[in-house]
A = this chain, B = another copy of it.
Amino acid sequence: MITTKTSQTRRDCPDIDPRELTLSPKIREECGVFGVYGADNAAATTALGLHALQHRGQEACGIASFDGEKFHTERHLGLVGDAFTGDDPSERLPGHAAIGHNRYSTAGKTVLRNTQPLFADLAAGGFAVAHNGHLTNAFQLREQLVADGAIFQSTSDTEVVVHLVARSKRVQFVNKFIDALRKIDGGFAFVGLTNKELIGARDRQGIRPLIIGKKDDTYMLASETCALDMIDAEVFREVEPGEVVVINESGIEFIRAFPKVPERPCVFEFVYFARPDSIVGGQSVYEVRKKMGQRLAQEVPADVDVIIPVPDSGVPAAIGFAQESGIPFELGIIRNHYVGRTFIQPTQQIRDMGVRLKHSANRKLIEGKRVLLVDDSIVRGTTSTKIVRMIRDAGASEVHFRSASPPIKHPDFYGVDMPNAERLLAANHDLETMNQLLGSESLGFLSIDGLYWAMGIEHRNADFPQFSDHCFTGEYPTALIDFDRKSNGQNPQMSLLVEVA
């Protein structure tokens, strides 16, 4: 796929201030989870793990520990490094077992009651739980539970699972938990903590990731391997799709909660979410991204003087493109690292302002050059438009743009905070129009086959796709119960409470 701009007329996006030549986070993973059993400073270990997973959620974080008798929780808005630095968190959160959570939120001030881990005093004992992903039938289940007298503390879909566990008639805790899992649908990776065990669980098709780590005799659970590297632990293996893992004094036990089905991990872990030094599904994320760039250079080459990555997510693909094409790779966009907490507040206005202050063009390098910008993907296109304009204003003679993933045409329902279809650029425009909107000389996307090739798969299996690639293809791995109910006018009321302080 490639297009060439035929007309010199720049079609203006009137909602973009020409001075806002900046970048903003395009899509956001909703969570990262971590858990450890049998560590001396379980809470400190968890804080380190969460810090390594900070890229998966930056608006709130929390840790729950169990000290043999009591549970302790601490939940904060903001970054792990701000919340859990200073004194050793293990002093406030004692115990040999702990779980933790990083989160993105969508609402403003009311976020704390939704911050995880959630905790409940059940008849079976205390239960803390944290969750990465999204349930596609949470509203339906919540409605049934409330009608039956359940009182929800939060508007989080995670709490549905807690109530299902509380009401399960099974005797053993793990069986109560599996009872609950069998009622929910969607993409999820859970870590749970009871007075006996650390529990992990992954959805039937493995849409969301969960890894088991090991260090000496201690086991951990984490969303990504980079959290294990942080604490110098080894990768043990991934939790299998549909599997429940129980870690306790006796060691580690694996329970199959669901019958085996072909797995379909989310392709966006490779494209955008995972840290480049993580290993996902046995592959180096950095290497996969470089191969996306390499293949992109073959599929949609560009006749330019210099290749500039859109920082920071476009860097590996840009290196791959540069190595394949032989065109020099240069740092044409300088990032200001000193962006304070304020700038990541979730209002659009502040986000825009934050990013306006975040990057600048390296003018001397760009002046008079034909520039190729390489990014990992294009979502709404506002970011790409701003950056094309910034590079042109810095004196580039031509600005070409390449996306190291295919056009995004469909929303996500499994824990990725992506815009509705109406706001997805590629869902509403053809390649030619997108090129005009971006204001670029040419625009190109990686093909679906190119994407699969970079992930090490010869061909996408059209009948049983090897990955959850619904954002590109519209083929969802599960039913979308809540979404369908909503389409039928059943608009769910989560809570009538506006919590001020």
A286 touches B75 (CB 8 A): no
A74 at the interface (CB under 8 A from B): yes
Q: Which residues of B contact A93 (CB under 8 A)?
A: 500
A279 at the interface (CB under 8 A from B): yes
Contact residues of A: prevailing secondary structure: mixed
Q: Which residues of B contact A498 (CB under 8 A)?
A: 70-73
Q: Which residues of B contact A76 (CB under 8 A)?
A: 501
Knowing A329-B329, A501-B76, the reply to whether A365 touches B284 (Cβ < 8 A) is yes
Q: Which residues of B contact A162 (CB under 8 A)?
A: 151
B319 touches A275 (CB 8 A): no
B86 touches A501 (CB 8 A): no
A146 interface neighbour in B58, B121, B316, B499, Cβ under 8 Å: B121
A163 touches B149 (CB 8 A): yes
A151 touches B121 (CB 8 A): yes
Knowing A121-B146, A363-B229, the reply to whether A51 touches B81 (Cβ < 8 A) is no
- A30, chain B: closest CB distance, angstroms: 16
* 26 pairs, A vs B, C-beta closer than 8 Å: A54-B336, A55-B336, A55-B337, A55-B338, A58-B338, A72-B497, A72-B499, A79-B338, A81-B342, A85-B353, A92-B501, A121-B146, A122-B151, A149-B150, A149-B163, A150-B150, A151-B153, A151-B163, A195-B496, A226-B334, A276-B331, A277-B334, A277-B364, A286-B362, A319-B329, A341-B341
B123 touches A147 (CB 8 A): yes
Knowing A365-B287, A496-B195, the reply to whether A340 touches B501 (Cβ < 8 A) is no
Highest count of chain B CB atoms <10 Å: which of A51, A312, A496: A496
Q: Please measure, in the bound complex, the distance between the C-alpha atom of A263 and the C-alpha atom of B213, giving whole angstroms.
A: 59
Knowing A82-B342, A277-B362, the reply to whether A500 touches B73 (Cβ < 8 A) is yes
Q: Mark A291-328, 1 if CB is under 8 A from B, else 0.
A: 00000000000000000000010011001000100001
B363 touches A497 (CB 8 A): no
What class of interface size applies to chain A in its complex with B? Answer: 35 or more
B357 touches A51 (CB 8 A): yes
Knowing A150-B149, A151-B121, A166-B149, the reply to whether A496 touches B70 (Cβ < 8 A) is yes
A71 touches B497 (CB 8 A): yes
A99 at the interface (CB under 8 A from B): no
A52 touches B336 (CB 8 A): yes
Q: Which residues of B contact A499 (CB under 8 A)?
A: 72-74
Cβ-closest chain B residue relative to A48: B357
The 7 A-B pairs with the shortest beta carbon distances in the complex, nearest first, are A81-B340, A284-B364, A82-B340, A54-B338, A126-B496, A149-B167, A85-B342
Q: Which residues of B contact A286 (CB under 8 A)?
A: 331, 362, 364-365
Q: Mark A92-111, 1 if CB is under 8 A from B, else 0.
A: 11000000000000000000
Within 8 A of B (CB), among A208-241: 226, 229-230, 232
Q: Please measure, in the bound complex, the distance between the C-alpha atom of A354 and the C-alpha atom of B81, giving whole angstroms.
A: 9
Within 8 A of B (CB), among A154-199: 162-163, 166-167, 195
A330 at the interface (CB under 8 A from B): yes
A74 touches B500 (CB 8 A): yes
Other A-B pairs, 9, CB within 8 Å; known A52-B336, A151-B151: A55-B337, A71-B498, A72-B499, A73-B499, A75-B501, A79-B340, A122-B151, A149-B166, A277-B362
- A67, chain B: closest CB distance, angstroms: 8
- A258, chain B: closest CB distance, angstroms: 24
Cβ-closest chain B residue relative to A58: B338
A413 at the interface (CB under 8 A from B): no
